[in-house]
Chains A and B, each alone.
Chain A
Amino acid sequence: MEILVCVKRVPDTAENEFELNSAGNDLDRDDLVYSVNEWDNYAVEEAIQIVDNAGGSVTVVTVGDDESEEVLRREMAMGANNGVLLSDDAFEGSDGKGIAAILKAEVEKGKYDLILTGAQADEGAGQVGGMLAAMLDYPYASLVNKIEVKDDSSIHVGREIEGGNQEMNEIQLPCVLSIQTGINEPRYVGIRGIRKVASVDVPVKGAGDLGIDPAAVGKDGAKTRRVDYFVPDLGDGAEMLEGSTEEIIEKLIEKLKAKGGL
Chain B
Amino acid sequence: MTQMFAYIPFKNGAAEDVALEYPDAAKKIDPSVEVTAVVAGTGADLDKVADAMTKIYKEVIKIDHADLAYPNAEQVRKALLDVLPHDAVILVPHDTFGMDLAPGLAVKMDSAYAADIVDFEGLDGKDLKMIRQELGGAVYTHVTSDVSSGAVITVRPGSFAPTEDTAAGGSVVDKSGDVKDLSAKRKFLEVVVAEVGDVDITKADVLVSVGRGIEEEENIEIAQELADAMGAVVSCSRPIVDAKWLEKSRQVGTSGQTVKPKVYMAMGISGSFQHLGGVKGNPFIVAVNKNPKAPIFQVADVGIVEDILEFMPELTEAVKAL
Contacts and interface: CB of A to CB of B under 8 A. Distances in A.
A262 interface: yes
Contacts of A226: 141-143
Nearest to A128: B103
B21 to A, nearest CB: 16
Contacts, number: 259
Contacts of A232: 140, 298
A234 interface: yes
Interface string B215-240: 00000000000000011100000110
Contacts of B99: 119, 126, 130, 142-143
A146 B244 CA distance: 16
Contacts of B298: 232, 234, 237-238
Nearest to A160: B255
A231 B139 CA distance: 6
B144 A224 contact: yes
Contact of B103 (A11, A14, A129): A129
Given A100-B107, A126-B99, A230-B140, A252 B315 contact: yes
A192 interface: no
Interface string A11-30: 10110011010000001000
* Residue of B107, B114, B243, B310 ringed by the most chain A CB atoms within 10 A: B107
Contact of A259 (B97, B185, B249, B263): B263
B95 interface: yes
B134 A123 contact: yes
User: For this complex, into which size category does the number of interface residues on chain B fall?
Assistant: 35 or more
A191 interface: no
B3 interface: no
Given A143-B99, A238-B297, A97 B257 contact: no
B160 interface: no
Interface in A126-180: 126-131, 133-135, 138-143, 156, 158-172, 175
Contacts of A18: 135, 138-139, 293
Interface stretch (B38-46, B53-61, B170-178, B300-308): B300-308
A127 B143 CA distance: 15
Nearest to B244: A185
B230 A262 contact: yes
A230 to B, nearest CB: 5
User: For this complex, into which size category does the number of interface residues on chain A fall?
Assistant: 35 or more
A253 interface: yes
A211 interface: no
B103 A13 contact: no
Interface stretch (A57-65, A106-114, A241-249): A241-249
Given A130-B104, A252-B286, A223 B113 contact: yes
Interface in B277-308: 284-287, 291, 293, 297-306
B242 A249 contact: no
A49 to B, nearest CB: 16
B206 to A, nearest CB: 5
A163 B144 CA distance: 33
Given A96-B103, A239-B301, A260-B205, A166 B139 contact: no
A201 interface: no
Contacts of A166: 191-192, 194
A100 B110 CA distance: 13
A261 B187 contact: no
A175 to B, nearest CB: 7
Interface string B153-181: 00000000000000000000000000000
Contact of A225 (B144, B205, B244): B144
Contacts of A169: 72, 186-189
A228 interface: yes
Interface of B is mostly: mixed
A140 B74 contact: yes
B229 to A, nearest CB: 9
Interface of B: 72-74, 95-97, 99-108, 111-116, 129, 132-136, 138-146, 149, 184-194, 205-206, 212, 230-232, 238-239, 241-244, 248-249, 251, 254-258, 262-263, 265, 270, 284-287, 291, 293, 297-306, 310-311, 314-315, 318-319, 322
A172 B74 CA distance: 13
A182 interface: yes
Given A140-B104, A181-B239, A122 B146 contact: no
* Residue of A20, A230, A252 ringed by the most chain B CB atoms within 10 A: A252
B262 A141 contact: no
A168 B103 contact: no
Nearest to A129: B103
A245 B314 contact: yes
Contacts of A223: 111-113, 145-146, 149
Contacts of A164: 194, 248-249, 251, 255-257
Given A127-B103, A259-B263, A238 B302 contact: yes
A250 B254 CA distance: 34
A139 B144 CA distance: 29
A135 B97 CA distance: 19
Nearest to B304: A241
* Residue of B301, B302, B305 ringed by the most chain A CB atoms within 10 A: B302
Contacts of A129: 103
Nearest to B138: A18
B191 A261 contact: no
3 closest pairs, A vs B, by CB? A130-B103, A238-B303, A164-B194
